[in-house]
Chain A
Amino acid sequence: MTGVAIVGAAECDLGRTGRSILELQTQAVTRALADAGLHLRDVDGLATNGISRFSATQLADYLGLQPAWCDSTFAGGAVFPMYVARAAQAITAGQCSTVVISYANDQRSARSRKLTGIVEEGTPEAAFEAPYRPLYPISYYAMVAQRYLHTYGLDRAGLAIVAVAARERAQRNPVAWTYGKGPLTVDEVLAAPMISTPLGALDCCLVTDGGGAIVLTSLARARDLRRPPVEVLGYGEAITHTGMATAPDLLRTGAIDSGRRAFARAGMRPADIDVVQLYDSFTISVPLGLEALGFAAPGEGLAATVPHNTGGGGLAYCHPGQLGVLLLVEAVRQLRGECGDRQVPGARTALVHGTGGIFSSHATVILEADR
């Protein structure tokens, strides 16, 4: 237990919005504060990235805030569970009392997504990997998937089931990008344009605008606010590599250590978790992640039964470049029992796992409804 709780959660507009990043950020922050029954003037801590070099400072300026604490750590999509850990520590230490964690991206409206990623000059990757023209990040996930299929004697159809299941769950989430598009079939996934074998276009997460925000404060204060508090029970992180040739074993990701650390801090085990929100950047991320976090034995992640990615995830709901904050929003809603047709009955505990880069950075948060 950390004694810190999430008291507000919201999405900004999703999909193709025609709005700028800072407009979407403003929506996310003000909606999450309204959900909590709080106001901008209550915010004294701010964590965000993806706006500019000075992201938290930039957003503070835009919203007229002068926070006592901020964080703009950049670790790809893993960073939002990391912000939760740092916010819990800052609140506990008395450095601030009310933290907003937010993120938004306009990548679909701005048509800004590049399949080749960004190669930063002067890095070892620029010298020793870029000459081989890997697609970043998909070629790395593709090599993980190839190794996974080889090791466990599976074929592409096995992974396609992950995309089919994500589409099916998104049909119960009215704000999902693929809501109302009906079911997806394994054959459709297999017939989609090949990008980097064995991953085709429908093995990849969406490219959409979107984002969201959550609000954290002390559990004691949370109990006086309008929403049922969701307590942060534990967290853990693991940082493993940036290069595509560093990891000695493609199938042993940092999620193993990140999850183990979070469970230890929470004093819990995988069997204690009612619902999982896991970063599904590509189909392979789901079985491998569920195995690493202890919800299935190695090679059996495709058959894991724990409810996960209930809103449709990055594959079928929304993927604004970094999914992490929206995983937290869905977890909070599940623990409050607000999810309607897609509600996991009686969910009291949730695990959120974010992944950044090419399985480079991992962060896990364990949450519990305070009812």
Chain B
Amino acid sequence: MMLQHCTKCRKYQFYPRPICTACGGNTHDVAASGTGTVDSFTIVHRAEEPYTLARVRLTEGPIVLTHLIDTPDPRCDQPVRLVPGSEPPVFRRDDGL
């Protein structure tokens, strides 16, 4: 998962845009650390198999929309970690391992 990092004000940004929306500066792409917390979530039942949609607040600051997998009882503010190699990127609970 890639983020944009502003070369001027140092703010991180997701999704990608041609400018930093905080200061108008230029950005370069950096890999996200892959850690964050669940801002909120919802289990979508109107589907063949229910899935957990979530807003994850990345450690760098931006919030992303994603899925939680292997996280049977999700909670707001719970730590989560990017599943390596997932595409589109999804997260699972971070047991601190």
Contacts and interface: CB of A to CB of B under 8 A. Distances in A.
A129 interface: yes
Contacts, number: 79
A244 B64 CA distance: 8
B5 interface: no
B76 interface: yes
Contact of B88 (A131, A142, A243, A244): A131
B66 A132 contact: yes
Contacts of B45: 193-197
Sort chain B's interface into a size bin.
20 to 34
A135 B15 CA distance: 20
Interface string B17-42: 00000000000000000000001111
Given A143-B40, A144-B40, A248 B63 contact: yes
Nearest to A143: B40
A124 interface: yes
A250 interface: yes
Nearest to A193: B45
Given A115-B46, A134-B53, A195-B46, A245 B63 contact: yes
B44 A196 contact: yes
A238 to B, nearest CB: 18
B94 to A, nearest CB: 18
Interface string A209-230: 0000000000000000000000
A245 B65 contact: yes
Interface in B43-75: 43-47, 51, 53-55, 62-67, 75
Q: What 9 pairs across the A-B complex have the smallest Cβ distances?
A: A142-B42, A143-B40, A150-B76, A147-B40, A197-B43, A131-B88, A194-B45, A245-B63, A245-B65
6 contacts: A143-B40, A143-B41, A146-B40, A248-B63, A250-B39, A250-B40
Given A128-B14, A144-B40, A195-B46, 15 more contacts: A132-B66, A133-B44, A134-B44, A143-B39, A143-B41, A143-B42, A143-B53, A150-B40, A150-B75, A150-B77, A197-B42, A244-B55, A244-B65, A245-B65, A250-B40
Interface of B: 14-15, 39-47, 51, 53-55, 62-67, 75-77, 88
